[in-house]
Structure 1
Amino acid sequence: MLLSWKQMVLLSFIGCLGGELLFHGPVFVSEPRDSMAPVGAADQRVTFNCEARGNPAPHYRWQLNGSDIDLGVESHYSLDGGDLVVVNPLRDRDAGSYQCFATNALGTIVSREAKLQFAYLENFKTRMRSAVSVREGQGVVLLCGPPPHAGELSYAWIFNEYPSFVEEDGRRFISQETGHLYVAKVEPSDVGNYTCVVTSAVTAARVLGSPTPLMLRADGRKLRVERRRI
């Protein structure tokens, strides 16, 4: 319960008489940060940090998407000090924005929002990829086109058959932003099938796309690269 203005004045006066008795409203020491949890993982715990100092010592409550979390009813939530612990979070139930409220007799402060998101990686759609034709000595880009996902990804490419992975060097580069494979000054030894491999950094799930054939043009005509939208 908040104090009346007379009580607040009295507390402030007492605080001036002795430093150790100084009363003040809550001030955050730490606030929650965004978190990412794997979809469907067992025995998972997500912790949102919240700590405030104040005199009197503050107490805490939390909201999810603007609604109070009832710790007495929703047993998969618990408080550890001011931290909110979510046990075995589910996307349909627990995804969203969390906020911490720290309160003492002198006031309430509200933390920044922290989002709980869930990482997943779907399979590539099963479809044939068109061959890419290029003249020897010219460059080419092979498109990856990752499937629907959430969370950070990493990319690699298989050349012809697993486990023959493309090694980056002065001619070959794999973008970890898009997954595309860049090959400069194509040589006859580059001809073959290239398969994009996508891995979730959160769930460790891995999926493979359909192979993209790379061929050399035998004629001397101007380069025409054939690509199929992925």
Structure 2
Amino acid sequence: MMKMTILLSWVALTLLSLKCYLAERIIQHGPVFTQEPSDSVFPLSSEDNKIFINCKAKGNPLPHYRWKFNGRDLDVYTDLNYSLVEGNLLINNPQAMKDGGSYQCIATNAFGTILSRKAKVEFAYLQNFTNKARNAVLVREGQAVVLLCGPPPHFGEIRYAWIYNGHPSALIQDNRRFVSQRTGNLYIAKVEPSDVGNYTCVVKNMMTNGTVYSSPTPLVLRRDAVMGEYEPKIEVQFEEMLRVIKGSSVRLECFALGK
């Protein structure tokens, strides 16, 4: 008896589902989104070099799709960089400067048109350092020094490290040496003769896994004076002047070095 009841319940549910399906197919209505595009960050180093921005809608008759980029219609039918895959937007060979921006999906049938929310699309990338040689930084023994990293253009979370004299392992931080993960600069307190050498800044994009290396910065001891004749100070050689737009603010980092 119980088996018969379960069987009848299953048949009833199947018939109800079939009824709903047929009603959906028979009753005509305008499009309704089932999936809208969302804010996304894509790595540009992906092997297939393609990205999808999702969009799906139901409707009867089935809707067709268009896309807007920064408020303007995209030509997905003649521009080879774009194509539609069941409403989803496929971008071939995306470029950060060209394809980053705001996207909206438009679904249309005979009974109406709907416009999706705006989705901000950004691309994680990391460019190379310039090959320009870096000037030597001069410091007296026992003083403190800051070596500037100056990371290249990038987007997405990055991590900094330094290598010494081309050694493959990253420089170990201790009570004298510190790498700022905000600026990438290397701070060395109480410089010793063993610190003399070439220092290279290493930048890694955590999303793309791309890694780039700066030109070496030579650290050289000055021996033109005896310690104690001068007030302790930090000597830092800036390659370029910082340009500040009028009305903007600049945050200066202060790091206390041990004596």
2:227 aligns with 219
String of CA shifts for 1:135-193, please: whole Å, max 9, x gaps: 52x64432111234445433221112332531123443222321111234544433433
Q: Residue 208 of structure 1: CA displacement?
A: 1.9
String of CA shifts for 1:99-149, please: whole Å, max 9, x gaps: 21234525412321323547341332513324242552x644321112344
What is the aligned-residue identity percentage?
Answer: 38
2: distance between equivalents of 1:142 and 1:120? 21
> Normalising to structure 2: TM-score of the pair?
0.63
Aligned pairs (5 A) from 1:175-214: 175-201=180-206, 202=208, 204-213=210-219
Q: Answer yes or no: is the 8 Å Cα contact 2:141–2:191 preserved in 1.
A: yes
For 1:189, the aligned partner's letter is: S
2:137 aligns with 131
For 1:209, the aligned partner's letter is: S
> Normalising to structure 1: TM-score of the pair?
0.70
2:11 aligns with none
1: distance between equivalents of 2:174 and 2:61? 62
2:252 aligns with none
Q: Answer yes or no: is the 8 Å Cα contact 2:76–2:83 preserved in 1.
A: yes
Say if 1:198 and 1:162 are closer, same or farther in 2 by CA, change over 3 A: same
Q: Aligned match of 1:98 in 99, 103, 112?
A: 103
For 2:51, the aligned partner's letter is: V
Q: Residue 45 of structure 1: CA displacement?
A: 0.9
1:7 aligns with none
Q: Aligned match of 1:146 in 143, 151, 164?
A: 151
Q: Aligned match of 1:68 in 66, 73, 78?
A: 73
- Classify the secondary structure of the residue corresponding to 1:173: strand
Q: Aligned match of 1:112 in 118, 138, 142?
A: 118
For 1:119, the aligned partner's letter is: Y
For 2:85, the aligned partner's letter is: D
1: distance between equivalents of 2:181 and 2:57? 39
- Classify the secondary structure of the residue corresponding to 2:194: helix
Q: Residue 62 of structure 1: CA displacement?
A: 0.7
Q: Answer yes or no: is the 8 Å Cα contact 1:131–1:227 preserved in 2.
A: yes
Q: Answer yes or no: is the 8 Å Cα contact 1:37–1:46 preserved in 2.
A: no
- Classify the secondary structure of the residue corresponding to 2:90: strand
- Classify the secondary structure of the residue corresponding to 2:150: coil
String of CA shifts for 1:30-70, please: whole Å, max 9, x gaps: 4232334538x874111112234567765432122333223
- Please tell me whether residue 165 in structure 1 is matched to residue 170 in structure 2: yes
Say if 1:192 and 1:69 are closer, same or farther in 2 by CA, change over 3 A: same
2: distance between equivalents of 1:92 and 1:191? 41
5+ residue gaps, structure 2, are 1-19, 240-259
2:51 aligns with 46
1: distance between equivalents of 2:163 and 2:212? 13
Between the two proteins, the alignment pairs up a number of residues equal to: 211
2: distance between equivalents of 1:164 and 1:214? 22
Q: After the TM superposition, which of the residue ranges 196-205 and 166-175 deviates more from structure 2?
A: 196-205
